[in-house]
Structure 1
Amino acid sequence: MLNIYVIHGPNLNMLGVRETEIYGRLSLQEINKKITTLANELKLEVAFFQSNHEGEIVEYIQQAHYENVDGVIINPAAYTHTSVAIRDSISSVKLPVVEVHLSNTHSRESFRHLSHLAAVCLGRIEGFGAHSYLLALYALHNYLHAKK
């Protein structure tokens, strides 16, 4: 069974409460439940992690290397636009990583248009709300099976 880490960045613990017109009404727990349901259908094992702290996210990405994780889905949230450290950790583990965003970052403020992570990720899915995570899971599943 393939093992996937799903990493949620800062403020995503506030989903369903904060700016619901942008991020939707589902809580992080509800999104994780949808991901788990799809993962079970695809016969994938998923582990979830959320942190508001950059260093903890870096350490969790590094842990993926040592635990023989097959791929990562990450919503780095605001760290997308600021974190060279998270970018470098993705680059160092050499795992397929899919970057996810609930909103379309290019339809928002100009500072959200830059992703420091995109160049070291397998792909990027954004703008489909919670469904962005499910699309990422399908994409990663297909990529990993094609690679076998």
Structure 2
Amino acid sequence: MWVGLIAVLLASFFFGSVFVPIKKAYAGDGFITQLFVACGAFSVAIIVHAAQGFPGFYPFAMLGGFLWAFANTFSIQIINRLSMGLANLIWNSFSCLSGWATSRFGLFGLTAAIPASVGLNYIGIVILIFGYDLVTVLLVSAYKDSREEKITPRR
């Protein structure tokens, strides 16, 4: 159990901070940034692959990597237009919901994993959606306030 919790904390830190340097430097159109992000992920993947004793090759898993890299190509433009907070909120909420639905209902040929407490499972999803709605409302109202300050003439 502790290994899982530590892994979740490390993943939260690293996935949550992957785009922080982009706020400090000009990222351009995002293609070079995507190249460096993919090279970093590939480097870590090689280390993990070696640590696991070089397990077998699964070509279907490459589809997930391709989709991840393809989506990351657009992440810079999305962050520049929406802000990092809202872009990461949308990205992570979608990732959480799609991962939950894949496991819960057995999508893509997986065996459905019925949780021990179905009620708590659905309460967690409701909290996720409520949190998404709450943060979206707060970010949109803050964005409107900042635009009104720029537009309103000072007297």
TM-score between the two structures when normalised by the length of structure 1: 0.27
Structure with larger Rg: 2
TM-score between the two structures when normalised by the length of structure 2: 0.27
Which structure features the higher share of helix residues? 2
Structure with larger RCO (C-alpha < 8 A, sep 6+): 1
Which structure features the higher share of strand residues? 1
